[in-house]
Amino acid sequence: MREHSVRIHNTSQYPNDVVRTLVRLACNGREHGSVGLNIKNSQHAFRGRAYSNIPAISNWRGQDRRYLVVAAIGDVEKFPIKDHQYPGLKTAPIYTLNDWMEGFVFLIAHELTHCEQFKNNRPRSEIEAEISAHRTLEYFRTVREAVGVDDLMRDHEAHKTPENKKATRREEKLDAIREKLFRWERKLKLATTKTKKLRRDLARMEKAHTATPSTLIQEI
């Protein structure tokens, strides 16, 4: 297992070779450790989350991955996004994402920064992740034409077939089921923990209640 490697599971509408190229650019020398990266579609422009371990129900469980990143990217129509700033962080950079590729690179760079924080035992900082992602966005803009990622995308658009679209929709449905299962698994774990605590509290109170009469008799 390479110390700093990203394995990709792409179920989004965007082609694998385009996604791989953008992920390589988003890594940009980060020491993020071994990451399993799930890429899916989003109803919004983008959303993402980095996990400091691999959840039990993840498709990366048992596959030599230390961290998990889930990244969702929306349709091309969701962009551009102008003068965006991370909600609630007044000192975060303000930036514009001109298209889905810029949004994707920014998102991946942001989440991989969190993985780097996990690996180096640094506090989880959204400010640091935003600043780092903004630098990566500027880097991407300087190399985009030379890398030829837009040419790759145009080639795929020219050869898109109805079968590709059906496969994408199936993957979307599978992703939706996996995400719902993950949420319910977390709720079940929380409910199990809460139930155990309540049972311990109940047993302790019942024991104290039962012991009270004999204690009073001894005092009399």
Shared domain for 93 and 184, answered yes or no, is no
Is residue 111 one of the residues assigned to a domain?
A: yes
Is residue 167 one of the residues assigned to a domain?
A: no
Show the domain range for 183: 177-220
pLDDT at residue 104 above 50?
A: yes
Is residue 130 one of the residues assigned to a domain?
A: yes
Average pLDDT score, the chain: 88
Shared domain for 138 and 196, answered yes or no, is no
The CA-based angle 127-133-134, given to 5 degrees, is: 90
Instruction: Identify the pLDDT of residue 216.
Output: 46
Is residue 166 one of the residues assigned to a domain?
A: no
Kindly report the three-state secondary structure assignment for every residue of 163-183. HHHHHHHHHHHHHHHHHHHHH
Is residue 36 one of the residues assigned to a domain?
A: yes
24-47, pLDDT tens digit by residue?
999 988 889 999 999 999 999 999
Instruction: Identify the pLDDT of residue 1.
Output: 47
Instruction: Identify the pLDDT of residue 4.
Output: 67
Identity at 131, one-letter amino acid code: I
In whole angstroms, give the CA distance from residue 141 to residue 13: 22
Whether pTM exceeds 0.85: no
Helix residue spans in 79-161 (DSSP H): 100-119, 126-147, 149-158
Instruction: Identify the pLDDT of residue 173.
Output: 72
Residue 50: Cβ within 10 Å count: 23
Q: Into how many domains does the chain fold? A: 2
134-190, pLDDT tens digit by residue?
999 999 999 999 999 999 999 988 877 665 556 666 766 776 776 777 678 777 878
